[in-house]
Amino acid sequence: SVMGHAFRSFLMLSVYTGGLPAGVALAATVTDEKQRRTPVVAHHAASTPQAHDHHAAPEVISVTRTRRPFSADQHRAGNTTNLTAEELVTHHVTTVEDIQNLVPNLTIQTEGGSNVPDYYLRGIGMQDYTQNNMSSVMTYFDGVPYTITAMSSGQMFDVASVGVDPGPVGFEHGIADTGGEVRITTNDPTKTLHYGVSEDIASYARSKTNFYVSGPITKRLQFRIAGQMLEGGAFRYNRVNGESLGRANEGALRAKL
């Protein structure tokens, strides 16, 4: 009968669609307008079911920016070598001659068998046996120019920083020079009482003692007294008279307000 034929057709269609993949069966039930584009997506998903599993979540990169005011020094090119107090202590800098071991293109040597240092930056300096002329490399201690190199001889202690500028330099720190400048800055006095002592002992009975005392005198005036003592360190021995050569026996004291 007609009803029986329709029932068998409906049953066969149900069995046929039930054996298809879910994407294709779903595509067969959509409207005609969607049927033209849905089967392609469903077929692609059915043929490559693992395609979406291999794609990680999109990476998110956050970029932020901030404007900050820059000082004039940050816009000006420079090749200054700066040494901190910790670096000077670590490398055992006790005299001005020891600075050349840490600063490139800097040579410090004595002339005529004396202990007066002569400074050379990039080969520019002064070689004068009279030691009474102004060098092409100016030395500053706490901002004060030492026009004669003999003034900068001696021990280095209680130093806050060292700065070396190859020349030519202008009047920024005092005097214009063609060779450059070496700036040595000592520690400033403190508004509260501070004091300390350090002892450095090495081979050949070498001893270096540093000490300082700093504090207020009034509300607006402070002081700082620092000193250093060097003893021993002789590594040569004269067999004739038994004298030890190279033994240090010197000291220095500095006061600052």
DSSP-assigned letter for residue 169: B
Q: CA-CA distance, 167 to 78, in Å (whole number)? A: 11
This prediction has a pTM of 0.63
What's the token pair of residue 8?
A: 């068998």
Domain boundaries, the chain: 2-47, 80-186, 194-256
- All residue ranges of the chain with pLDDT < 50 are 2, 10, 13-47
Cα gap 214→184, rounded to integer Å = 19
d(CA 257, CA 27): 93
Place of tokens 């540093």: 210
Q: Which residue type sits at 59?
A: E
pLDDT of residue 76: 65
pLDDT of 15: 45
Asked if residues 161 and 102 have their Cβ atoms less than 8 Å apart, the reply is no
Residue 234 neighbours by CB distance under 10 Å: 15
Residue 112 backbone zone (phi > 0: left; psi -120 to 50: alpha; other: beta): left
80-186 homologous superfamily? TonB-dependent receptor, plug domain (2.170.130.10)
Rg (CA), the chain: 41
CA distance 125 to 114: 17
d(CA 172, CA 70): 19
Query: Is residue 9 helix, strand or coil?
Result: helix
The answer to whether the bond into 69 is cis (omega within 30° of 0) is no
Residue 32 DSSP SS3: helix
So what's the pLDDT on residue 43?
46
Calculated CA dihedral for residues 30, 31, 34, 35, nearest 10 degrees: 70
- pLDDT number for residue 62: 81
Residue 186: its pLDDT value, please? 92
